Structure 1
Amino acid sequence: MGLYADVPALRVRQVVGDVLVVLWVALWVAVGRAVHEQVSRLAAPGRTIEDAGRSLEDGLRSAGREVARTPLVGDDLQVPFESAGDAAASLAAAGTAVQDGVARAALLTALAVAAWPILVVVVGWVVHRWRQVRRVAVGRRLVATPAGRDLLALRTLAHAPLRSLTDDDVAGWRRGDPDVVTRLAARGARGLGVRPPTTTTAVEAVSRPG
């Protein structure tokens, strides 16, 4: 099953459409990344708080170990420093929590901004292209057989604008005229994006009693 039609004009439109969809996706991925980077900058205060908390915790615990060496009262003097160190650790943990929250917010914001334009266009285009691929596949099967070409001719009569048809088209199809059937089948094939029947296949066109 081919992805593109046989008719050059339709094939070009399909290729251009595919390229435009890829560019659309790339554009919105870039927008999403830019939004993510901008929101992620809000995590800077959290990193500052974490660094300050870690530094303060290390200093207080180090000071506590030093005063713990004081004879007789060292253990008692160490307790306030350990408590202060625990408070500093809590401060550092709060800074980490701020960064985690900002990271989640950055991801969700980027997805909210970029995901829906990508999904709407990609899903719509995939459905559209799938229908085109199916039409081309069906058209190729019809063109390959005399009965299929006759069906394409009938489809042309049923769907073509009335002003584009002539009495000879209708009468020729009813008679099973190979030239008329092939001409109508060629119009139907091009409408499906398929290469029209060749002059060789015209001879094989199905005959229909008048």
Structure 2
Amino acid sequence: MRLYPASATARTRTLVRDLVVVGLLAVFAWTGVKTHDAILELTSIGRGIQDSGRAISATTRNTASAVDNAFADAGNAVNGIPLVGGQLGGTLRRAPSDATSALRAEGDEQGGRIVRLGVEQVRRTERAANWVGWLVFLLPSVVLLAWFVPKRSRQVLAMATAHRTLSHAPEHILAARAAYSLDYKTLRRYTQDPFGDLAAGRHDALVTALRRESGLP
């Protein structure tokens, strides 16, 4: 099966058109990738939200630890008081445990909720980046190929059909076909007197015109 016409001019024209289509597809792909990457940069917002959640959890835990340490230091300081020092010190060390435990739990809960929100935002942004990137590539590509592929396929099929049809046809029939079907301007590129050639049995130029205009050598 012949993919390109035998004529140098027609072959060059067809090849240039094919390369333009390939180039446009490459441009569409590049644009889709760039669009995907641009949207993907928005995931930094979600990661910032996650960092904020972790920071809240860490801050509440540090605060709770600081309170526990402060009461522990106070308890250690009163340990030396006669009679009541040990009991008072233990009481002081245990005093903030309920409050600091609740503070840690609340901080972990709030921080975890914020982290989950950040994770969800990253997931949705990545999904949107993928969808938009593909759409930016596929929509113009489908339109371009819907215009180009049928036309190119018809050209290739026409050359294949012409090859099968013209291969074993009688020369005088082909010459007559050329004289009666090709326009005058095309005929004059091959012979100055197409109908005179047909009448006189000079078929070479007419047959050559028919084959070349059909894309065949």
User: What TM-score do you get using the length of structure 2 for normalisation?
Assistant: 0.70
C-alpha offsets along residues 130-168 of structure 1, whole Å, 9 cap, x if unaligned?
A: 111112212222342134x56644543443225758543
Aligned position for 2:28? 28
Closer, same or farther in 2 for the Cα pair 1:56/1:73, shift >3 Å? closer
Closer, same or farther in 2 for the Cα pair 1:77/1:61, shift >3 Å? closer
| Residue of structure 1 aligned with 2:213, choices 191, 195, 205 | 191
Which runs of structure 2 are paired with 1:55-74 in the superposition (5 Å)?
A: 55-58=55-58, 60=60, 71=94, 74=97
> Tell me, what secondary structure is at the counterpart of 1:190?
helix
Tell me how far apart the structure 1 counterparts of residues 10 and 195 of structure 2 sit (CA, whole Å): 29
Which runs of structure 2 are paired with 1:16-165 in the superposition (5 Å)?
A: 16-58=16-58, 60=60, 71=94, 74=97, 77-147=100-170, 152-161=174-183, 164=187
Shift of 1:17: 1.5
Shift of 1:90: 0.9
Tell me how far apart the structure 1 counterparts of residues 214 and 143 of structure 2 sit (CA, whole Å): 25
Tell me how far apart the structure 2 counterparts of residues 80 and 57 of structure 1 sit (CA, whole Å): 10
Tell me how far apart the structure 1 counterparts of residues 39 and 102 of structure 2 sit (CA, whole Å): 41
Shift of 1:24: 0.9
Unaligned runs of 5+ in 2: 73-92, 188-192
* Identity of matched residues, %: 23
Unaligned runs of 5+ in 1: 196-210
Number of residues of Structure 1 aligned to a counterpart in Structure 2? 187
CA contact (8 A) 1:64 1:82 kept: no
Of structures 1 and 2, the one with the larger relative CO (CA 8 A, separation 6+) is 2
Query: Higher mean Cα deviation, 107-116 or 162-171?
Result: 162-171
Shift of 1:194: 0.5
Tell me how far apart the structure 2 counterparts of residues 106 and 21 of structure 1 sit (CA, whole Å): 26
Closer, same or farther in 2 for the Cα pair 1:150/1:131, shift >3 Å? farther
Closer, same or farther in 2 for the Cα pair 1:65/1:170, shift >3 Å? farther
CA contact (8 A) 1:156 1:184 kept: yes
Shift of 1:75: 5.5
Closer, same or farther in 2 for the Cα pair 1:184/1:78, shift >3 Å? same
User: What TM-score do you get using the length of structure 1 for normalisation?
Assistant: 0.72
Shift of 1:58: 4.8
Q: What is the identity, as a one-letter code, of the residue corresponding to 1:104? A: R
